[in-house]
Amino acid sequence: MQILKSNKAQYEYDIHALVKAFYPEWDLKVLTPESVVKDRRIREIIPVMELEFGETEVKFTIYSYEDESAHTKEPHIYTWCNTDAVEPDEYKNEFKCFLYTALQEETGISLPWGNLTGIRPTKIAMTMMGNGESRQDIAAFLREKHFVSEDKIELGIEIAEREREILNRLHYENGYSLYIGIPFCPTTCLYCSFTSYPIGVWKERVDDYLTALEQEMDAVAQMYRDKILDTVYIGGGTPTSLSAQELDRLITKLKNTFDFGTVQEFTVEAGRADSITEEKLRVLHRHGVTRISVNPQTMKQETLKLIGRQHTVSQVIDAFRLARKVGFDNINMDIILGLPEETKEDVEATIEAILALTPDSLTVHSLAVKRASGLHKWIEENGVTAYNNTEATMQIAAAGAKAMAMVPYYLYRQKNMSGNFENVGYSVEDKYGIYNILIMEEMQTIVALGAGSITKRVYPDGRIERCDNVKDVTQYIERVDEMIERKRRLLAER
């Protein structure tokens, strides 16, 4: 474990995110005087870095040592003097500039997204466009204030322009979107940190879970009876872990409860090839589902086995072709770059296999290592060099999307992403995933039902408030009345 000590509880999230971006192999912990550390041994670890905030100066010290017993070289000290009286947000941005440039000088590395640590970099461009600022103004701001590379500036602005055009069709103040969470999967993937339970173990409780969901549906439909429903998204987990009969029950209730006359997009994540059958696809198609996902993550069989996806590459291909046969004309595929032990050649092979199928959209994820995932433990055992994402593999995916006449339409980032890159959604014209944009740009209220889901209410002034449902399936079933009451308080007119 590496320790960064700070004399002040300030900007810990941003400090951690920036340092980890430069040193991804570190198990970093930021300690302040207010930090609660139960293990005394952690406080006794010699820090690799220290931050000292003064009235007009910040000192950032980086130590070099051969082991954890003592420092062995002269520390590198970077200082930032700020005597101007500035607003807190401006001070924070200037501090992040200082920290970034110090780390850049120390490592010789420039990050593609500069010092941006948030997950929604396109939101900056979207906001500036809404204020009437030009492409040139936005580019200059991202370049000079955040050190973003020219490639990412161009990508971010292009996506922001496209998002604005797509979102113009939606009802912001009097509309909302609906998310239904199905927290079951055939198995849990190595990289996954979502709320997910093995369907085989929970089969006997699915009926109870659907009953609880139906209670939430009835309550929300009443709360928002005067609102316009724009998009519906059934995610998870893997919704197609449910049987055909259970899917039919779920969607029948959904469509009988809400007015789908205004719905512009109805998505169901089919996701795992080992959960897809013709009967299930026909249920989805008959109910008017407009968009589905068939997600390989990779087309390398050895990697599929390593990450815990109990299906073959052939099953992915068969599932995709079956969806086309049933009649789906808007199919997304997800891939993950930077999966353990995958090479540039493996990514090329995956893209070639996807090109042969020609999906309507392609979501390219850059692997993010979450502490709650099995992958975190795997990396500890096998070393950080066992996974890697590069600009070259990102370009391979982008070129593959372009070859399928797709353009980038949404983007987001996560903590601890391999290569400090991003996740990008590509799509052919008019097959964009509207809900994907909404969940990232936070411009419309999303009411979320089911275990582990989070409802976000967006107010006309841009303010956002949230309420969450418990993650545990049994707790959700037993406490669904409480989940409904949380929503009632959040969604009440005020």
Residue with tokens 């204030």: 145
Decide: 444 and 459 in contact? Cβ < 8 Å.
no
Closest by CA position to 438, among listed 296, 222, 238, 229: 229
The pLDDT of residue 115 is: 94
pLDDT in tens, 250-307: 999 999 999 999 999 999 999 889 899 999 999 999 999 999 999 999 999 998 888 7
Decide: 34 and 9 in contact? Cβ < 8 Å.
yes
pLDDT value at 8 more than 70: yes
Q: Which residues contact 21 (CB under 8 A, 6 or more apart)?
A: 111, 117, 420
pTM: 0.89
pLDDT value at 452 more than 80: yes
Cα dihedral 437, 443, 447, 451 in deg (nearest 10): 60
Confidence of residue 426 (pLDDT cuts 50, 70, 90): very high
State the average pLDDT for the chain: 90
How far apart CA 29 and CA 20 sit, in angstroms, is 10
Mean pLDDT calculated for residue range 416-441: 89
pLDDT value at 195 more than 80: no
* Sequence spans of domains, the chain: 1-109, 169-486
On whether the 169-486 domain is CATH 3.20.20.70, my answer is yes
* Max avg pLDDT among 165-169, 224-228, 306-310: 224-228
Identify the CATH assignment for 1-109 out of 1.10.10, 3.40.50, 3.10.450, 3.30.160: 3.30.160
SS (H, E, C) 79-133: EEECCCCCCHHHHHHHHHHHHHHHHHHHHCCCCCCCCCCCCCCHHHHHHHHHCCC
Instruction: Tell me the chain's radius of gyration from C-alpha atoms.
Output: 24
